[in-house]
Amino acid sequence: MTRPLLLGCIADDFTGATDLANNLVRAGMQVVQTIGVPRAPVDSVDAVVVALKSRTIPAAEAVAQSLAALQWLQAQGCSQFYFKVCSTFDSTPQGNIGPVAEALLQALGADFCCVTPAFPENARTVYKGHLFVGDVLLSESGMRQHPLTPMTDANLVRVMQAQSRGRVGLIEHAVVRAGAGPLRARIAQLRGEGVRFGIVDAVADADLLALGEALRDAPLVVAGSGVAIALPRNHGLAPRPEAAALPPAGGLRAIVSGSCSQATQAQVADFIAAGGAARAIDPLQLADDREGVVREALDWAAGELGHGAVLVYSTDRPESVRAVQERLGVQQAGALVEDALASIAKGLVQRGVRQLVVAGGETSGAVVQALGVAQMRIGRQIDPGVPWCHAAAPACDAQLHLALKSGNFGSADFFRKAFALLA
Ligand SMILES: Nc1ncnc2c1ncn2[C@@H]1O[C@H](COP(=O)(O)OP(=O)(O)O)[C@@H](O)[C@H]1O
Ligand SMILES: O=C(O)[C@@H](O)C(=O)COP(=O)(O)O
């Protein structure tokens, strides 16, 4: 890195990392996303997003990985840091948002940070500390049935407090709407009261822009990708399309989906209804014969790939996921399916796929690790929160275009739209 980094980011999952990188690129920053803490030199850019797969691992491990990422970012000369969490605040009851945020604050010698998952463009808004997903509270959204991180409380002050040692307060919308000055005053007041985290209301981009301005000198922000729209302008940067340029696309097309979120269910149904070639993976069959299931899926795909995009999916309805989890255990079922889908993705790339969409954050993490991806360049947005990326996949000796789709993101025709954008 030949110039100091303006912003150092740590993301708790891989789709979340591309979502954040996408918003920074759209606001004019050059961004590289790395898979884990970089071991090789990284291009000289404005911001690096270190993508971890730390959302659902034990809290102590999430803390250790996040601190290692922080150290690397500090060594690049960076003095402002962004801990990217999910816009639906996905976390296990033990964390990991609170424990990681507290460890980062301590390592930075700081005593306070703002926290907000608001991302109005994707219908995530926070009002009076309550998170809304579209028109409903988080606790009434599909997130209440998430396979790994069911979210049953929309009150973020309460959720954050339950996983933090320090006190959690609220920065209400009336203050945010009043602008950066009143926001700074409220932050100073909360700090004076010994509060460690301020959940920030935000219902529109204007709120995030005010917050971004107020955070100009803040060492740490804990947020979804929304606040990222406001930080590049603190450095005099403005949107520029060339920030998103990628090499031309070629090769075969595939989708691998391990997300069971509502948006992904609609996307899988849409792809199949439009006549797309699709093959379901049954987790119980996987538990009996992992190698056989992977081999059969790849044999099937080999026969279909020449005719258009293929979809391999474990996406299923909540009742079926629950039945699988009861038989196999929640973590075991998740790991088994992720591992199999990652092997299938690798097999697809070995068979010539060069445009690969992966649906699901944990699933994306498993896939990019199997491909050996170390860093990705961020390209054009397909839908809010999901850009095309370009990466080397050393495990397959290939370069490819990758889209890592958060389970909850994207319109129903996302899969078809994604390939059309690259054509
Ligand atoms: N049919 C299924 N039964 C049980 N677990 C599943 C099934 N399909 C996927 N999973 C697991 O559910 C989790 C989905 O998480 P993720 O990939 O992050 O998707 P999302 O982005 O929607 O949260 C993964 O661990 C995945 O392996
Ligand atoms: O902020 C978001 O909603 C996303 O960027 C994100 O983190 C999604 O995670 P998954 O739903 O697990 O893909």
pLDDT in tens, 317-332: 999 999 999 999 999 9
For residues 253 and 264, give the distance between their C-alpha atoms in angstroms, rounded to a whole number: 18
Count CB neighbours of 255 within 10 A: 29
* CATH of segment(s) 7-238: 3.40.50.10840
Closest-CA residue, ligand 2 atom 8, reads 406
Chain segment 268-282, per-residue pLDDT in tens: 999 999 999 999 999
Q: Give the nearest ligand 1 atom to 321 CA.
A: 3
- Is 70 exceeded by the pLDDT of residue 98? yes
Task: Provide mean pLDDT across the span 146-168.
Answer: 94
Least confident piece of the model among 35-39, 172-176, 341-345, 354-358: 35-39
**Quick one: pLDDT at residue 40?**
82
Give the DSSP per-residue string, 34-79. Answer: EESS-SS-----SEEEEE---SSS-HHHHHHHHHHHHHHHHHTT--
- Ligand nearest, relative to CA of residue 13: 2
Burial of residue 181, with CB atoms counted within 10 A of its CB: 0-12 exposed, 13-18 middle, 19 or more buried: exposed
Residue 209 has pLDDT above 70, yes or no: yes
DSSP summary character for residue 92: B
DSSP reduced 3-state for 215 = coil
Pairing assessment for the beta strands 398-405 and 386-393 based on DSSP bridges: antiparallel
Cα 50 to ligand 2 centre (Å):
15
Question: What is the rounded average pLDDT of the residues 345-362?
Answer: 97
CA separation for the pair 115, 222 (Å, rounded): 5
Higher pLDDT, 141 or 148: 141
Residue 399: what pLDDT?
98
Cβ atoms < 10 Å from Cβ of 4: 11
Which residue has the CA at smallest separation from atom 5 of ligand 2?
A: 16
What digits encode the pLDDT tens for the residues 100-147?
999 999 999 999 999 999 999 999 999 999 999 999 999 999 888 888
Of the pLDDT bands very low, low, confident and very high (cuts 50, 70, 90), residue 2 is low
Write out the residue limits of the CATH 3.40.980.20 domain(s) in the chain. 246-422
Q: Rounded CA gap, 242 and 236, in Å?
A: 17
Measured in whole angstroms, the distance separating CA 80 from the mean position of its chain's CA atoms is 20
* Identity of the amino acid at 106: Q
Pocket residues: Cβ below 6 A from ligand 1: 146-148, 258-261, 264, 283, 314, 316, 321, 324-325, 333-334, 337-338, 360-363, 406-407
- Residue 42's pLDDT is 85
Residue 423's pLDDT is what? 87
CATH class of 246-422: alpha beta
Question: How far separated are the first and last CA of the chain, in Å rounded?
Answer: 33
CB atoms within 10 A of CB 277: 18
Confidence of residue 1 (pLDDT cuts 50, 70, 90): low
Question: Which atom of ligand 2 is nearest to 404's Cα?
Answer: 13
What is the average pLDDT value for the chain, to the nearest integer? 95
For residue 146, which phi and psi values (nearest 5 degrees)? -60, 140
Lowest mean pLDDT among 217-221, 236-240, 263-267: 236-240
The pLDDT of residue 224 is above 90 = yes
**Sign of the torsion angle spanned by Cα atoms 129, 132, 137, 143:** negative
How far does the centroid of ligand 2 lie from the alpha carbon of residue 212, in Å? 21
pLDDT of residue 44: 83
Cα separation of 362 and 327, whole Å? 21
- Sheet of 136-137: strands edge to edge? 124-127, 130-133, 136-137
Q: Which atom of ligand 1 is nearest to the CA of 338?
A: 27
Give the torsion sign (CA, 357, 418, 24, 406): negative
Amino acid (1-letter code) at residue 122? N
Q: Structure pTM? A: 0.91
Output the CA 97–ligand 2 centroid distance in Å.
Answer: 14
pLDDT classification of 94: cutoffs 50, 70, 90: confident
- How many angstroms separate the CA atoms of 85 and 74, rounded? 20
Cα 405 from Cα 412, distance rounded (Å): 12
The DSSP bridge partners found for residue 322 are none
Site residues for ligand 2, CB cut-off 6 Å = 13, 15-16, 19, 86-88, 224-225, 360-361, 385, 406-408
Q: DSSP letters of 122-136?
A: GTEEEETTEEEETTE
Share of the chain above pLDDT 70, in %: 100
Is residue 32 very low, low, confident or very high in pLDDT (cuts 50, 70, 90)? very high
DSSP 160-218: HHHT-SSEEEEE-HHHHHH-HHHHHHHHHHHHHTTEEEEEE-B-SHHHHHHHHHHTTT-
Compute the distance between CA of residue 346 and CA of residue 79 in angstroms, rounded to an integer: 37
List every span in the chain annotated with CATH 3.40.50.10840: 7-238
**What's residue 145's pLDDT?**
86
State the Cα–Cα distance between residues 44 and 41, nearest whole angstrom. Answer: 9
